[in-house]
């Protein structure tokens, strides 16, 4: 029997302690002052905190004295903490009666594998909650002072991953790359050339502006503005690396004015009359 099927075997016990609970807490993209008050309170009550690779040390300072802080981070190609092991570990701690915090960068509900951890907790009758955090798209927009939506320009926001569970890109980029959309791609830095190709194939102009924001809200935060066609070359030249998000504003075409005359045509007509 695997540790996922019976998490209590990780720490065997001869007594049955009261059941604890699990909170999936969003730490935001970096800066500790992005934490919500609810997240701070939960960290201050936890018996054990299992935290991700991108969680800043300043965030862990909100843990109560005596709480165990255990690193369970994963990196590409280095999975000493595969998801199944994390699921089993947090469940085992809760079965011992502990108040468990699973601390994730960003928001647990946005590409945070929350679904697996919720399913593992519920399979063992453990109470679990999500405490939302500031996701990287919102933090990047705030840092750049660049709204994710603009009236008359963009009326929808799409948060997409550029790396599926198979390691490949989603194939239906054309379905989301529509005018009037603010596109934000997560986990895209290893897929930049393919992302550029698919966007152009979907009808996005090669000279469409793109902003890449990396290490958002951290001391080493930086951003790069480029185009869809030059995305991967410019990121490579500037040595832009993860963690990063890619923001693309696909503006709506200007709406024609009443009578079928555009504002630009009206302006040109008025200028011609003035000149005569």
Q: Catalogue the active-site residues.
A: 52, 74
DSSP 26: E
Copy the structure tokens of residue 41: 């309170």
| Nearest Cα residue to 244 out of 158, 143, 101, 171 | 143
- Cα-Cα end-to-end distance for the chain: 90
Rg of the Cα trace of the chain?
23
Residue 75's contacts (CB-CB under 8 Å, 6 or more residues apart) are 53
- State how far the Cα of 89 lies from the Cα of 270, in Å rounded to an integer: 72
- State how far the Cα of 22 lies from the Cα of 38, in Å rounded to an integer: 14
Residue 209's contacts (CB-CB under 8 Å, 6 or more residues apart) are 225, 226, 227, 248, 249
Q: Which residue has the tokens 């679904």?
A: 115
């Amino acid at each position: 029997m695997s540790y996922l099927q019976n998490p209590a075997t990780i720490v065997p016990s001869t007594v049955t302690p009261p059941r604890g609970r699990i909170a999936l807490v969003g730490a935001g993209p970096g800066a500790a002052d992005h934490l919500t008050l609810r997240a701070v309170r939960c960290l201050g009550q936890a018996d054990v905190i299992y935290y991700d690779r991108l969680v800043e040390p300043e965030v862990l300072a909100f843990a109560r004295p005596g709480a165990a802080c255990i690193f369970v981070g994963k990196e590409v190609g280095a999975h000493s903490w595969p998801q199944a092991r994390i699921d089993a570990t947090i469940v085992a701690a809760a079965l011992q009666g502990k108040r468990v915090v699973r601390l994730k960068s960003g928001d647990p509900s946005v590409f945070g594998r929350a679904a697996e951890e919720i399913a593992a907790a519920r399979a063992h009758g453990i109470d679990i909650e999500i405490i939302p955090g500031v996701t990287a798209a919102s933090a990047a927009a705030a840092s750049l002072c660049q709204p994710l939506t603009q009236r008359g320009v963009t009326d929808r926001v799409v948060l997409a991953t550029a790396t599926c569970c198979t390691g490949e890109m989603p194939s239906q980029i054309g379905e989301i790359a529509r005018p009037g959309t603010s596109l934000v791609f997560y986990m895209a830095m290893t897929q930049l050339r393919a992302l550029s190709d698919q966007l152009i194939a979907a009808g996005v102009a090669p000279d469409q502006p793109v902003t890449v924001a990396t290490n958002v809200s951290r001391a080493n935060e930086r951003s790069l503005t480029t185009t869809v066609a030059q995305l991967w070359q410019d990121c490579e030249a500037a040595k832009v690396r993860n963690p990063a998000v890619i923001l693309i504003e696909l503006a709506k075409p200007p709406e024609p004015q009443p009578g079928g005359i555009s504002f630009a045509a009206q302006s040109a007509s008025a200028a011609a009359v003035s000149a005569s």
